Structure 1
Amino acid sequence: MSTRLLLSATLLSVATTTYAQQTAVPAIEQTGAAAQANINALGRGDAAIVRGASSAGMIGTPYVDNRWLLARITLSSKVPLAPVPLKYDVLHHRLLMRPLNSTADSLQLDDRLVTYFELEEPVAGTTQSRRRVFRRFEEAPVAYQRTDYVEVLHENRYSLLKRYVKVLRKANSAGPYSKGDSYDTLEDKNVYFVRRLDATLVPTKLTLKALQTAAPELATALKQSAAAQAAKTDAEWAAVFASLDPK
């Protein structure tokens, strides 16, 4: 049974799913050692995804990252919460957290007051970590997407944003047109955006030609950039934009 963590500017409370009675936790401090102690002491529950009986399992992941990554969450009140392990479940549009002293239990956050969160992603082969920032997609062209999160690959005069999208393909193991598939499949259909100087939001791909079209004022600089010529990954394109649009 999943447990829902309700956040407000002055308190944190724990609630169960619709199958259980709602309970509340008294107001607590949200910063420092006291905050971490209270987060660790929150109620426990299983936030596992429920699969249909027609499926033998699932191929793919609903999360941005399968790992529990340490996250710093900031509320609309600007009060930061103590760092906590977090997963962003893209498919179900939810944030899951796990108390630091737990290895299995997780809580679902009611994130209505969350404005952004930062994930600390370990860099392989080093003791360092890479900071990944996610904020609300406030400029989304479709209203219902504005409560979703986008990863901020770069943000200054221009913004380079990544909206994660997961598409569920249900198993089709019966019927005359069946392919014999017994597993549900999650497909990544992520979309990138450039926000221009005039605040226009343009969908794009991470290719030199597409980004030159999305940001015409940077077209010449992109063409002349050796890094842009070789860039392929999110991190590499983020570095390109950081060099051409420094803060």
Structure 2
Amino acid sequence: MCKFAFLFTIAFASHIALAQTSQPIGIDAERNLAELGSSTNATMVQVYDNRYEGIKGTPYFKEHWAKATIAANNTVYKNVEVKYNVYESNLLYRTPKGAEYVLLPARVDSFLLVDGVTQQKFMFRKFPALAAEAPKLGQHFALVLHDGKQVQLVMVPQKHLMKADFKGPYSAGNKYDELQDLQSYYLFGPDQTFIKVKLNKKSLLKALPGKQDKVAAYIAAERLDAGNAQGWAKALAYYESL
């Protein structure tokens, strides 16, 4: 495993600020990104093996490579080719020459992922307050679904590894390990206090005390589906406009 030694002179920043940070390009950007992690010639998922019939599912948020803008160490890197490894909560970065590096989560503040197929954008950030829910969530990247001035709705994607089980009289007979998707939703207030929510109308209205009647009327008038993130985002935007 190759290692590079390049010295960063800019202190670590915990929040993305595109207009106020440096933006290295070309070989400088490649060298800086290499310093954020370590090189490898193989997949980053090193905890698995190919026993029985192998592994079902993927550790990545998107299986294919995608372009991203990464904020790390008070520096912004644009047009970077990455995969987000949800299972290990890190970024797999590929250089134009094909070398691959793991960008450790402690060195990355946030990243904006653009799906190359749908062109949909996904903003991932850390929310340290989530450590109160579970210690590891404080360093886990959360997908921002609504980024308002008063409230923020985020989804924390996770992967659970279900081991193969083919022994015993009551076994289900699974001959493969399986990575299963887990999603948790949290609503943050202006002081970064948060509550865990479910995507349904009851949970939405309960999270917005004092303006429930107006929000309920808006949901009915606009025929919003409070069972998905898009419906919540529209309802929360209306809530903030009141």
Same fold (TM over 0.5): yes
For 1:159-174, what aligned pairs fall within 5 Å after superposition?
159-174=152-167
Could you tell me whether the CA contact under 8 Å between 1:137 and 1:150 is conserved in 2? yes
Match of 2:233 in 1: 238
Match of 1:134 in 2: 124
Moved more, 224-233 or 65-74: 224-233
1:119 counterpart = 2:109: no
Distance (Å, rounded) in 2 between the aligned partners of 1:187 and 1:209:
27
Q: Which amino acid in 1 is paired with 2:127? A: F
RMSD: 3.1
Q: Secondary structure of the equivalent of 1:87?
A: strand
| Equivalent position to 1:62, from 27, 43, 59 | 59
| Equivalent position to 1:52, from 42, 49, 52 | 49
Match of 1:74 in 2: 71
- Runs of 4+ in structure 1 off by over 4 angstroms are 2-8, 36-44
> TM-score if structure 1 supplies the norm length?
0.75
Q: 1:229 to 1:8 in 2, by over 3 A?
A: farther
Could you tell me whether the CA contact under 8 Å between 1:55 and 1:170 is conserved in 2? no
How many percent identity over aligned positions? 26
> TM-score if structure 2 supplies the norm length?
0.76
Q: Give the unaligned 5+ runs of structure 1.
A: 12-28
CA shift at 1:54, angstroms? 3.7
Q: 1:137 to 1:199 in 2, by over 3 A?
A: closer
Q: Secondary structure of the equivalent of 1:153?
A: strand
Could you tell me whether the CA contact under 8 Å between 1:71 and 1:85 is conserved in 2? yes
Distance (Å, rounded) in 2 between the aligned partners of 1:197 and 1:40:
33
Q: Give the unaligned 5+ runs of structure 2.
A: 11-21
Distance (Å, rounded) in 2 between the aligned partners of 1:207 and 1:8:
48
Give 1 or 2: higher helix fraction.
2
- Residue-pair matches, total: 221
| Equivalent position to 1:192, from 167, 185, 189 | 185
Distance (Å, rounded) in 1 between the aligned partners of 2:193 and 2:41:
43
Match of 2:15 in 1: none
Q: Which amino acid in 2 is paired with 1:135? A: R
Could you tell me whether the CA contact under 8 Å between 1:174 and 1:180 is conserved in 2? yes
Match of 2:17 in 1: none
Q: Which amino acid in 2 is paired with 1:65? A: K
Q: Which amino acid in 2 is paired with 1:49? A: V
1:180 counterpart = 2:173: yes
Distance (Å, rounded) in 1 between the aligned partners of 2:233 and 2:6:
32
Q: Secondary structure of the equivalent of 2:84?
A: strand
Q: Secondary structure of the equivalent of 2:76?
A: coil
| Equivalent position to 2:92, from 89, 93, 96 | 96
